[in-house]
Structure 1
C-alpha cells in the first residue's frame, strides 16, 4: 500500500490518574547533575498516579469517524504498533493509510505514561523481561534454541518474525507491574471516553484490558480486535451481556497449541468466544495456521507478513464494524 499519509494534526496527552500524597519520607542530599553541587531533595508531597499517555494521529481526510485505539501488551509500549524492528511500516501506519485515525498509547506505568514510587505508592516491585523469556513466550523458537550469540539461535521452522531483529525487539522492553490492573482499566476507560465511538486493537495483556473495557462501555466500543490476548477476564452475567453487544475478533498465530503458557490463555479466550456467541453476540476466532498461514509468532504486527495480517483484520472490520462516513464528529474533544 503506497498511499501517502496526509495528517490534519497530531495530538498528545495524558488521561486518567489522581493525586497521591507521600509523607514521612527522608530528606536526601543528591548531586542531580555531574559536576554540580549536591542539593536537598524532598520526596514528600503529591504525585500523579495512574495516568496513561496517548498520541492521536488525525488524518486530513479520514474515511471513518471511528478512530482505532492500539493497546500494547506486557513489558511493551506503543512502539509495538510503530515501525517494525526491521524497519517496515507498523500497523499504525497501515491503518492510517486505510483511512482510520489512530491513537497509540502507553499503558499505565509504561513508557511515557511514567510511573510512581515503590513501595510507597506501587505495592510491588517491577518485573523485567529477559531475552530468554521473550524468545520462549513470544514463540520465536524452542526454549533451548536461544543463545546470547544471534548466530547460534535456532528459530522455529518457517518462523515469520525477522529473527535477525530479535535484539531490536527486546530493546523496546520496559518495567511492568502486575498489581495495577484496576488503575489500567480506569485509565483506558478515560481514553475511550474522549471519543463517541472507538475500535480497539489490542495485543496480549492489552487484550485482557480491552475485553474488560468493552464490557464496561459497550455503547462506546464499535469493535474489539484481540491479537493473541492473555486469556479473558472473568465476567458475571451482566458483564457478558454487555460485552456481547460489541463484535469481538480473536486472532492467533502459530505454535500456540503445544505451548505451556499459551494453552490456557487460548483456551480461556475460546471459551469466551463461545459465551459471547451463546448470547447472540458477534465473536470470531481466526486461527492463522488453520487458514494455511504458518509461522506467525506472538508478534504478528512485526512478522514478515504483518501487512497481510493487517488486511485480514481490516477485512473483518469492514464486515462487522463498517466505517462511518467521516464528518469529524467523533474526533477527540477539543
Structure 2
C-alpha cells in the first residue's frame, strides 16, 4: 500500500511539474532490455601506450510484448538530431509508435545512431557534430504553418501545442534533440557496420526509417537483403543526387539515394558511372528543387529489387516537394515501391514528425500496420 501511494504521489508530482505529460497514459505489458553492438577497440586518442577505447557501438533497446503474435520484429531508426526516444512516446505524453506496435504483438528494436545519444561520441575518433536551433525545429517540423517556407506548410494542423519555444510540449521535444555527426557519409559507414552486426544477431526484420535514416534503409537492404523483409520509409532523405528546398542546394547522395556505394546492375566502379538527366515534370526552380533520374537504360539497385518498400509522405511537410522524385528513382532502379501520400488516404494536416503528432496512431494503424499485413506473409 505504501509503495502504491508513493507511485501515485510521483505521478502527481511529475504531472504538476510537466503538465504536458499525461498521468492517464496506459501502456502495453512488455519486457525491456538494452544492449550494445558494433563496438571496436581503437587506440586512445593522443596515446601510444597500448590503451584502448570502444568506438562505433550503437545502443539497442529491445521491447518484447507479453504476447508475441507477429513473426517478425520491427527495427526502428530515427532521423537527424533525434534518438530512439522518438518512438517511445510523444512530447505531450501520449503513447508512441513503439507501444502501439507492441500492442499489435510485435517485438521492437530501437537504436540510437552511432555517435548520437546513448551511442557514445568519442572525441578524437568520431567526426564533427552539429545541432539544430529552436528556429530550425519550429520552421521545419513543429510550427511550419507559421513560417510558410513551402506552399503546403500552411496546411499543418497536427502538432500538439504551438510548436515554438516556451510552449511546454515544444520545450520537452526540443530538450530531446541531440548533436549529430555533420557527415552523412560517416554516419552511413558507421551505421552500416553496427546495424549489419545487429541484423546478423537478431535475424530478419521489418525496417522502419525516418528522414535522415531513409538512406540507411537502402544501404541496409543492399547490405543484408535476406534480412530486410520490407522497408517502411517515412519521408526519406532526398531527392537523388542534390539537396532541395533549403539552400545551399549542394550535390549530395552521389550514389543516387545514398552517400556510400550500393550495388547496381550493371555494376558501377564509381558514382560517376551513374549517368543522370533532369526530370522536367518533377523539377521546380521556384521551389528550389531539381529532380534527377538515371539516363535510360537505368542501372538496377539489384539487392533491393526483392524488398517491398513503402514511402510515406505527409500533407504539409517539405517532403511533399520531392518525395515523388525519390520514389520515381527507386522505381526506375527496379525497387518495388509504393508511395502513400497521407492526404490521399484521408489523413490530413501532418508535417515531418508525423508519428509524434496528434493523429500519429491513426497513421500507424491505417498506413504502416496495413502495409505490413498486406506485405508480410
TM-score by length of structure 2 reads 0.70
Q: Does 1:6 align with 2:61?
A: no
TM-align CA RMSD:
2.6
Please give the alpha-carbon distance, in whole angstroms, between the structure 2 residues aligned to 1:210 and 1:43.
40
Deviations 1:277-302 (A, max 9, x none): xx3x5310101123332210101111
2:79 matched residue in structure 1: 73
Does the 8 Å CA contact 2:145/2:155 hold for their aligned counterparts?
no
Please give the alpha-carbon distance, in whole angstroms, between the structure 1 residues aligned to 2:95 and 2:27.
12
Check 1:84–1:44 CA distance in 2 against 1; reply closer, same or farther (3 A cut).
farther
Please give the alpha-carbon distance, in whole angstroms, between the structure 2 residues aligned to 1:190 and 1:24.
29
1:228 matched residue in structure 2: 235
Q: Does 1:316 align with 2:371?
A: yes
Does the 8 Å CA contact 1:24/1:44 hold for their aligned counterparts?
no
Q: How big is the shift at 1:136?
A: 2.1
2:331 matched residue in structure 1: 274
Q: Within 5 A, what are the aligned runs for 1:254-265?
A: 254-256=315-317, 259=318, 263-264=321-322
List runs of 5+ in structure 1 lacking aligned partners: 26-41, 147-154, 323-334
Does the 8 Å CA contact 1:19/1:49 hold for their aligned counterparts?
yes
Does the 8 Å CA contact 1:23/1:45 hold for their aligned counterparts?
no
Please give the alpha-carbon distance, in whole angstroms, between the structure 1 residues aligned to 2:50 and 2:134.
37
Please give the alpha-carbon distance, in whole angstroms, between the structure 2 residues aligned to 1:220 and 1:236.
16
Q: Does 1:242 align with 2:303?
A: yes
Higher helix share: 2
Aligned length: 286
2:130 matched residue in structure 1: 127
Check 1:77–1:61 CA distance in 2 against 1; reply closer, same or farther (3 A cut).
same
Q: How big is the shift at 1:24?
A: 3.6
Query: Residue 136 of structure 1 aligns to a residue in which SS?
Result: helix
Q: How big is the shift at 1:267?
A: 4.6
2:192 matched residue in structure 1: 185
Check 1:129–1:58 CA distance in 2 against 1; reply closer, same or farther (3 A cut).
same
Please give the alpha-carbon distance, in whole angstroms, between the structure 1 residues aligned to 2:125 and 2:330.
37
1:162 matched residue in structure 2: 160
Does the 8 Å CA contact 1:273/1:285 hold for their aligned counterparts?
no
Please give the alpha-carbon distance, in whole angstroms, between the structure 2 residues aligned to 1:75 and 1:52.
15
List runs of 5+ in structure 2 lacking aligned partners: 1-24, 163-168, 239-256, 266-299
Please give the alpha-carbon distance, in whole angstroms, between the structure 2 residues aligned to 1:267 and 1:143.
25
Query: Residue 180 of structure 2 aligns to a residue in which SS?
Result: coil
Check 1:61–1:163 CA distance in 2 against 1; reply closer, same or farther (3 A cut).
same
* Among 87, 101, 104, the residue aligned to 1:95: 101
Please give the alpha-carbon distance, in whole angstroms, between the structure 1 residues aligned to 2:133 and 2:190.
25
Structure showing greater relative contact order (alpha-carbon pairs closer than 8 Å, 6 or more residues apart): 1
Please give the alpha-carbon distance, in whole angstroms, between the structure 2 residues aligned to 1:173 and 1:43.
37
Please give the alpha-carbon distance, in whole angstroms, between the structure 1 residues aligned to 2:176 and 2:349.
22
Check 1:291–1:61 CA distance in 2 against 1; reply closer, same or farther (3 A cut).
closer
Query: Residue 242 of structure 1 aligns to a residue in which SS?
Result: coil
Please give the alpha-carbon distance, in whole angstroms, between the structure 2 residues aligned to 1:166 and 1:134.
9
* Among 330, 344, 356, the residue aligned to 1:302: 356
